[in-house]
């Protein structure tokens, strides 16, 4: 694949790239650059973390990257997830792996790593300390968004360490590109600023889009803060479709979702169409009633958006299509968790937990 085609694939992943000239130089000079993402094992996985993550990783792999997926169990522990029970956190991490097995992710080209596997390495903690010594408490607190925390929130001491650990992960894993969500931007920028001062390097940031939650936006924030406040949340179950939801649950959530007529922006159902459904299907059918012209076959999201803005597709018809195609995507995951004994046991464990954040 030539350089421009690689760049185009990465642009499809990255809502923001810091910086594209650096990315271009990296692709020119390094045959197999390393990209990574990391996840806290902190509860059930929603569709953005499952299917959208697989879509983006596969594009990065196709563009020539080696991809490292970090199961951030110690980060979840530091962030007091699962009540701070490391054994429970580990089980959730195993659950994540079972989901990714059946999302279409190119698993042969993804290296899964557990933070707990390298926490015995003195060199890792040396990097954590170097970053901590080169940062102010104020700057670290401003990175609290990466943990789902607000600047005004009182943090535990372990949560102060968390951003230092995440920045250290980048250098410990020899990462060239941080391919995480836009909500992780602040700590990635911290790594870019500190890296060269510590004798490391300046990682490129390719931040993917954060799909908004299904509820009507209530925020008055702008920019990155608005994106973070509007994203789907595991702690608000009806704001997201989860990877083991039944068809009935999918239908209930989508039917009550915010979906303003003729409006594309800040329309979560349209976001599902654009970032997930049209990425997985070459065409879709909108089940429009005969009295309104009958079903419509759409070849692209641009075509769908145009007709929706013109009022030729009703929100109820858009929602019906979303239910149908989301159910098709999630069905293999549901079956895996019903038929695979290990996966079924992990789901039963997750179902038994009261997860509030």
pLDDT of residue 41: 92
For residue 99, pLDDT over 80 is answered with yes
pLDDT digits (tens, 9 = 90+) for 113-130: 999 999 889 999 999 999
pLDDT digits (tens, 9 = 90+) for 319-329: 999 999 999 99
User: Residue 163: which pLDDT band, with cuts at 50, 70 and 90?
Assistant: very high
For residue 219, pLDDT over 80 is answered with no
Q: Are strands 204-208 and 14-18 parallel, antiparallel or unpaired?
A: antiparallel
Rg over CA atoms, the chain: 21
* 150-157 average pLDDT score: 71
User: Residue 147: which pLDDT band, with cuts at 50, 70 and 90?
Assistant: low
For residue 236, pLDDT over 80 is answered with no
Give the tokens for residue 240. Answer: 């997201």
Q: Share the mean pLDDT of the chain.
A: 91
pLDDT of residue 143: 85
Q: CA-CA distance, 84 to 113, in Å (whole number)?
A: 20
Using DSSP's 3-state secondary structure scheme, residue 222 falls into coil
139-143, 225-229, 256-260, range with greatest mean pLDDT: 256-260
Helices (H), 14-52: 20-29, 47
- Torsion on CA atoms 55, 168, 77, 60, rounded to nearest 10: 0
pLDDT of residue 233: 64
Q: CA-CA distance, 71 to 81, in Å (whole number)?
A: 13
pLDDT of residue 216: 87
First to last CA, the chain: 42
User: Residue 230: which pLDDT band, with cuts at 50, 70 and 90?
Assistant: low
- pTM as predicted: 0.90
CB 37 within 8 A of CB 144: no
pLDDT of residue 292: 86
For residue 235, pLDDT over 90 is answered with no
For residue 229, pLDDT over 70 is answered with no
pLDDT of residue 288: 87
pLDDT digits (tens, 9 = 90+) for 35-75: 999 999 988 899 999 999 999 999 999 999 999 999 999 99
pLDDT of residue 158: 86
For residue 356, pLDDT over 60 is answered with no
User: Residue 146: which pLDDT band, with cuts at 50, 70 and 90?
Assistant: low
Q: What fold does the segment set 3-208 form as a domain? A: Rossmann fold (3.40.50)
Instruction: Return the H-helix or E-strand segment holding 178.
Output: strand 177-178
- Where are the chain's structural domains? 3-208, 223-352
The CATH number of domain 223-352, selected from 1.10.1040.10, 3.30.1300.10, 3.30.450.40, 1.10.240.10: 1.10.240.10
For residue 308, pLDDT over 90 is answered with yes
* 330-348 average pLDDT score: 96
Q: CA-CA distance, 258 to 267, in Å (whole number)?
A: 7
Burial (0-12, 13-18, 19+ Cβ within 10 Å), 248: exposed
16-25, 74-83, 210-219, 319-328: the lowest-pLDDT one: 210-219
């Amino acid at each position: 694949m030539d350089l421009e085609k690689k760049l185009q694939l990465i642009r499809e992943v990255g809502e923001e790239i810091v910086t594209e000239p650096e990315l271009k130089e990296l692709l020119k000079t390094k045959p197999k650059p390393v990209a990574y993402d990391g996840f806290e094992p902190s509860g059930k996985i929603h569709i953005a973390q499952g299917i959208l993550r697989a879509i983006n990783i596969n594009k990065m792999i196709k563009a020539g990257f080696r991809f490292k997926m970090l199961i951030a169990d110690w980060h979840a522990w530091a962030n007091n997830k699962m009540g701070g029970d490391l054994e429970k956190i580990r089980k959730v991490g195993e659950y994540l792996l079972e989901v990714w097995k059946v999302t279409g992710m190119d698993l042969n080209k993804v290296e899964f790593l557990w933070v707990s596997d390298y926490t015995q390495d003195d060199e890792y903690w040396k990097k954590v300390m170097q970053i901590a010594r080169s940062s102010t408490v104020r700057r670290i607190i401003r990175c609290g968004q990466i943990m789902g925390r607000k600047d005004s929130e009182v943090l535990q001491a372990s949560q102060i360490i968390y951003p230092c650990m995440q920045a250290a992960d980048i250098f410990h894993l020899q990462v060239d590109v941080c391919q995480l969500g836009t909500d992780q931007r602040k700590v990635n920028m911290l790594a870019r600023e500190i890296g060269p001062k510590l004798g490391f390097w300046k990682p490129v940031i390719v931040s993917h889009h954060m799909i908004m939650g299904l509820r009507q936006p209530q925020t008055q924030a702008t920019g990155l803060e608005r994106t973070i406040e509007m994203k789907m949340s595991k702690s608000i179950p009806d704001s997201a479709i989860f990877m083991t939801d039944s068809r009935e649950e999918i239908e209930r959530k989508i039917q009550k979702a915010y979906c303003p007529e003729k409006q594309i922006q800040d329309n979560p159902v349209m976001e599902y169409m654009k970032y997930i459904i049209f990425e997985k299907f070459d065409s879709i059918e909108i089940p429009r009633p005969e009295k309104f012209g009958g079903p419509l076959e759409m070849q692209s999201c641009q075509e769908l958006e145009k007709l929706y803005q013109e009022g030729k597709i009703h929100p109820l018809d858009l929602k019906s299509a979303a239910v149908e195609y989301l159910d098709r995507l999630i069905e293999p995951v549901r079956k895996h968790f019903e038929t695979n004994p290990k996966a079924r046991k992990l789901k039963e464990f997750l179902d038994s937990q009261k997860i509030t954040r």
